[in-house]
Structure 1
């Protein structure tokens, strides 16, 4: 006798399609994206030859966040990620604050990734290409998360092939010099912290796995396995690429580079590889944009279900089983932002919100009991402290803008509560 067919999802819930490999690839598509092509140079400007220390510090904070997120996602496998965890573990306000930080910050990240695509594909028409990329990927997400996972698989394969080529060219070239890895006088503690904050921005994609909790099969097992796997693979890739680029360029030349991986290829004598890296950077940014739109729309869905955003955004398409209204709204907002902003401003604005989001995740993980799969107590403590430390080590303009946006969110929450209380 055949197995009984799976019980169909209720009309207001999402269908569970994703296994471990799909979830890992969505995380890799978020982390191994445009960040590796763009974040090394500003990190080198901040930390000099201490870039690798910044990478190690970012990895420690990311590991704590990943562990806290994985345990929470297994306990609360619903769309929304830390918005759901904060609400369930700390209270409605903290969940709202995490969701607000995520939606606003990652919408800015979407615009930055779209503009990165435009800059690499057609520099003279970067904004137009960025808007076209947003519209195209919104259509892909609208057609269903399985198609998004398949496209992400192809993107990750292309990016990894490009990065492997750069690493081989750098490590086998006659220009590589191990002395360039020595930590010198150009390194300061504050510089290392700022470099870690910049590099953490590129690590943060494992949240996409948690925000897809309602679409993952057997989430209690799949999510805790997928998040550390995706993070571990990304850390190895970032470390190897950073070492190869530093060996060839050195910290000063890397700090002055606008396209560090292309410059590293040329310095290694592999001029033919530079245009390949250019294509790889555009593809990587597309992968990040795809996963970012996916994650922001799911958090929008969760907040709309709780009426923190218009409830109409909680609708799930009866055929494609995706939050179609949330996806269309997110796509429209990102398209407008991509048409009117610049990459530097978008990334700086986003970083503070991302770290605030993970601070709430770690605080939520602290409340788990041992029966609920609580991690070692040190992990959420280090994660929370690390998030706050890196957030306030960012450039002052990013801190001020990020704090102002959080204040606007808090004011909106308070106004909504006041109106609701008067209406009773």
Structure 2
């Protein structure tokens, strides 16, 4: 059930932000069949499908109040995947045409994009969505359009059928309520990992005096307490945060781990205060949304805090090119979007994984591609890992969670000088698929 923990942390992290070279990728880099179909000709088998083409949509809050970079990663990762797929011959003799739409980060804009892609452009499916307000989700579901691999920023992926988030989901998703009758569950593998890895038992959580921030901070505090930590909580004013006082409190409490419910601006200012006060942490822990190559720039004024910055996720480190799927992703990004290397993010890799997931689902249908066939693939009881990019997950409906569950995670640490050369994220576990713990499932209301 760890999927819902990922969603909770991601949703809160995003909401808080409100206040050239390379080689052509060969067909072997794609497990889904490429080239012409094995037998017979293709047909116009469903909406958005012709004998030679499949039309797919991507909705992104590209020009949202958060800025162009915050939610754009999945879009670029998916676009690179489909460009590489088409260069390798397409899927069963069909190329993929991608239609993108920027919803501007508003609910009205999202509904406009949904109607544009479904009613006007008549796309076969959606993929790699990253919308600040997915207000059009009920319409997507009502039209039975598969939405594969979207980022679960809100609770729509916990409610509606036909929507398949990037981390999997075992809730009923019957359209009547979010999760299990309005309740979601978080797991505690992140806190267990640091307790065992760093021998830590004292943690702090810093939040703004703002509803979403306080709610997320309470979830972190609940998880830490379940793992036996001593927890110090501090709240700062959103407009005039007194981070010097927070640094003093953390020093006096001998804090080892620092978690937060703040945006990047708040994090960097807090880290500067910690460095100024000489506070030494074992780890400053962040999440997948902040797993980016911009850390060196964002934390340039706080080198001490930057040196203990850790991140957790349910996907592979984009720096680990010894894995073929990661190498394929990086090669395609270098070929099609070379200017994005300095702003590389985990979300771009997850966008690639989303496109891979949809492509594998479509490949399972052969030449007779239909939405119903894609959803049968998505709903199967075989966990999916996007060729090793994701911790295996599925969409099998499960009863209300009770008792412990097995939850896994990937972990990396920022280093100004990596073995590969230059700054970047260095993986801290042998394999995310085996870095697993038996942990409790804690209920909360979103």
Is the TM value for this pair above 0.5? Answer: no
State the TM-score, normalizing by the size of structure 2. Answer: 0.25
**Greater strand fraction, Structure 1 or Structure 2:** 2
TM-score by length of 1: 0.25
- Give the number of the structure with larger relative contact order, counting CA–CA contacts within 8 Å between residues 6 or more apart: 1
